[in-house]
Copies of this chain bind each other. A is one copy, B any other.
Amino acid sequence: MKHARRLPSYLANRFKGWQATTFAENKSWFRHLAQEGQHPRSMIIACCDSRVHVTAIFGADQGEFFIHRNIANLVPPFSPDGDFHGTSAAVEYAVRYLKVAHLIVVGHSNCGGVEGCHDMCAGVAPDLEAQSSFVGRWMEILRPGYEATSKLDTRADRLRAMEQQSVLISLENLMSFPFVESAVLTDNLTLHGVWHDIGPGALHVYDPEIGEFSEV
């Protein structure tokens, strides 16, 4: 692979620092993880956004969360057509092989992917409508969320509503996977939806009883 380059030295140095501190102090735990394998309690589906670290906000240790991250924390509908489906593969692996007990979809504020979807659906982002746009095609998963929120007055309100729709639509799509549905109906898996507000550092959890997100 002739195009690969060495690691930037500041990262190599930081790694050595981690190795000499965090790792050195937890050697036995890392050895245990390597020998016994992982047994995560939960799967997290979150956004790639650099501002959202679920391991930080949930104080997670190595071994605790099986984490899939993609643009706008989306799950496409069940579609076993033999193509490459990275998200579906991650869900299948977590539910059928790791048998996680919780599956938590984490949305967040100021999401660039959601904003792009909003503008695409509003007809003002032609580049995203191109068949060749991977981001545009991926964000199609959220199009129903645009329709559900397009009557809101302000752009800010619509974006926030769509960010929360990205969580709900992913949860709905998860239920279209037979192995997810049966695990949920037999109480072997619990689904959760949360939305993280970056600026104020708040967490809003979807409450099925009121059908809304409410702050913890």
Contact = CB atoms under 8 A, between A and B. Distances in A.
A140 to B, nearest CB: 7
A85 B63 CA distance: 27
What is the oligomeric copy number? 4
A21 B22 contact: no
A33 to B, nearest CB: 5
Secondary structure at the A interface, as helix, strand, loop or mixed, is mixed
Contacts of A62: 50-53, 56
A4 B101 CA distance: 13
Nearest to A109: B34
Interface in A32-54: 32-41, 43, 48-53
Given A11-B58, A199-B30, A208-B5, A137 B190 contact: no
A107 interface: no
B83 A18 contact: no
A81 to B, nearest CB: 8
A190 to B, nearest CB: 5
3 tightest Cβ-Cβ pairs between the two chains A and B:
A17-B17, A34-B199, A89-B138
